[in-house]
Amino acid sequence: MRFVKANPNEYLVVGRGGRISNRGVAASAFLWPGSTHVLIPSTQQEATFEMTQESKDSIPLRFKGIIIYRIVDAAAAARRFNFTSGKGHEQINDLLSHVCLGELRAVVAHLTMDECITQRKTTLTDAVATALRQVIQGREGDEGWGIALEVVQVAQVFIVDQALRRQLEAEVRNAIRVKSELSEIHTGEGIKLAQTASERRLQQENLETEREKIRTSEAIKLAQAASERRLQQENLETERDKVRISGETFRLRQDLEREQIEAQTPIQLYRIEQEREVLKQQLEKLPLELRVKELLAQVNLAADKAKQDLRKEILPLEQSPAVAQALAGILRGVQLSVVGPETPLLAALTPLLNSLVRVVQQGQPDATAVGKEP
């Protein structure tokens, strides 16, 4: 048994017993006797094509293109191409070039020189790419070539005849110059037109701005007027509500007062009745109180009179020592000589002395009685 191994950029395809199997990239395997294998590169491959073809207006043109592809189905590619000798990619490149040249000739024959040059990346490239994909994908039920196209492009288109090319280049330069001058003229006109349009647009915008300001001002005034009217209306409604509320409040207050009066009337009547009874009792009691006061006044008056009478009776007794002392002071050191029975001085002092003695004798018991008086 042999041992084979593929590199990281190679597919390992093994065939045995009429069957082909792709072991994958960087795969390894032991081969049984009678088995074969092939290593197929998985890297990107490049194919080119180049040809000369007259355009529809009989001008010979040179075309160059490029194709970049890679193998995605190694088993299908191994069935169609011989990779044993290392010429599998050469066979694929040749077939791709032939397909591109055939399709490109058919398309260029129906295009003018200008169309071929201007439509190099569109019409020509799309036609070549479409033809290649139809070929490599195969018919229905066919596995195809096992490759995938990554880039298909008609890279260059140039004129073969040098004199014609110089002439065309001169015409192109003149045309470019004319176009440039016309472009400058058109650009200047465009600038002027743009300036005019800009000025007109600015004027229009200014006019619209002024109109908008006027409309805004009018709208503000209308809004203010409406707001004032609304405020006046609201104030009027508020005043009406206040008046209505005041009326309701006054009516409710009257009703409440009436209800209170109606509710308090029995109580007040009862109170009046009670007060009348009290007053009646007071009127009935008043004469008795007056009688009591009169009696008290009489008692007080009698007591005061008794006190005064008692004071009158006691006053001589209270003053008798002072009188005696005064009399003693008067008669102190006086030597009386009574000559005859009718002496005037003695006659004047005798009643006084008698009266003093009598008062003293009579007043002694009364004083003791007064001291015991309650």
Q: Answer yes or no: is pLDDT of 52 > 70.
A: yes
Could you report the per-residue pLDDT of 22-31, keeping only the tens digit for each? 898 988 888 8
Q: Which residue has the tokens 């009574």?
A: 338
Structure confidence by residue, pLDDT tens digits, 147-167? 999 999 999 998 887 777 777
Q: What would the DSSP string read from start to end of 131-166?
A: HHHHHHH-STT----SEEEEEEEEEEEEES-HHHHH
CA angle in degrees (0–180, nearest 5) for 248-253-259: 125
Q: Are 144 and 133 in contact (CB under 8 A)?
A: no
Residue 297: predicted pLDDT = 86
Query: Which range, 51-55, 307-311, 319-323, has the best average confidence (pLDDT)?
Result: 51-55
- With beta carbons less than 8 A apart as the criterion, state whether 127 and 95 touch: no
Say how far apart CA 46 and CA 127 lie, in whole Å.
19
CA distance 159 to 173: 16
Question: Does the pLDDT value for residue 368 go beyond 60?
Answer: no
Q: Express as a percent the part of the chain with pLDDT over 70.
A: 84
65-101 per-position pLDDT tens digit:
999 999 999 999 998 898 888 788 999 999 999 999 9
Please state, in angstroms and rounded to a whole number, the distance separating the CA atoms of residues 21 and 89: 20
Confidence band for 339, pLDDT divided at 50, 70 and 90: low
Does pTM top 0.85 for this prediction? no
Q: Which of 136, 130, 66 is nearest to 103 (CA)?
A: 130
A 10 A CB-CB count for 22 gives 18
Q: Is 28 helix (H, G, I), strand (E, B) or coil?
A: strand
